[in-house]
Amino acid sequence: MSQETGGADAALPQPGDDRAAGAMVRADLVAAIVFIVLGAAILYASWTMPRLEVRRIHPMTVPGLVPGLLSFALVVCGGILAWRSVRAPAPGGWQSLREAVLSREAVRALVVAALALVYTLGLVGTLPFWAATAVFVFAFVLVFEVWLAEPRKSWRTSLPWAMGLAVVTAAAVTLVFERAFLVRLP
């Protein structure tokens, strides 16, 4: 069967996809290293947590048990991913990975991560929750419609849309969490 018919060989890598496959292999290696380091750090932190023996706490309910087990699993999975990516062929891997990291899509992903970090670490707790959410949604819409969109939209059309969406989203999220879920928001 051919690719047009959606046969079994449609999922097989094509000759021009070698560089993309090499980039993915190298990306897996970098991710594996991050997972191993993160898992080891969390494992150490959970091991050094107080075990509360003085209060006669059962060993299976100590505070660091679940994070320790999860971080151990993260280290194991990171090791398996690293082993697999080291063994796999990666033609043009590091060069292709550099091109992928510097692509427009990667910049958009980094902007999303930066906006989310500003929201969670900077706005929530500093402003009332509804205001922090409104500022986040407003900024998100403007950034992705005016600056990072292809084609870009004008300020005049995006500004009212961003303001309206920010107000509705902030009100809806606040009401749902406070009234339906009975969660006290910061």
d(CA 183, CA 24): 41
Residue-averaged pLDDT of the chain:
84
The dihedral through the CA atoms of 81, 87, 88, 93 has a sign that is: positive
Print the domain residue range for 25. 2-101
Quick check: is 186 in a domain? no
134 neighbors 170 (Cβ within 8 angstroms) = yes
Quick check: is 185 in a domain? no
23 neighbors 99 (Cβ within 8 angstroms) = yes
Quick check: is 161 in a domain? yes
* pLDDT tier at 13, thresholds 50, 70, 90: very low
Domain final residue pick, 101, 128, 151: 101
Tokens for 149, please give them.
């969109």
More confident residue, 143 or 89: 143
**In total, how many domains does the chain have?**
2
Amino acid, res. 79: G
Domain final residue pick, 68, 101, 134: 101
Look up the pTM and report it: 0.59
Question: How confident is the model over 112-145, as pLDDT tens digits?
Answer: 999 999 999 999 999 999 999 999 999 999 999 9
Quick check: is 139 in a domain? yes
Length of the chain in residues, anyone?
186
33 and 122 within one domain: no
185 neighbors 129 (Cβ within 8 angstroms) = yes
147 and 72 within one domain: no
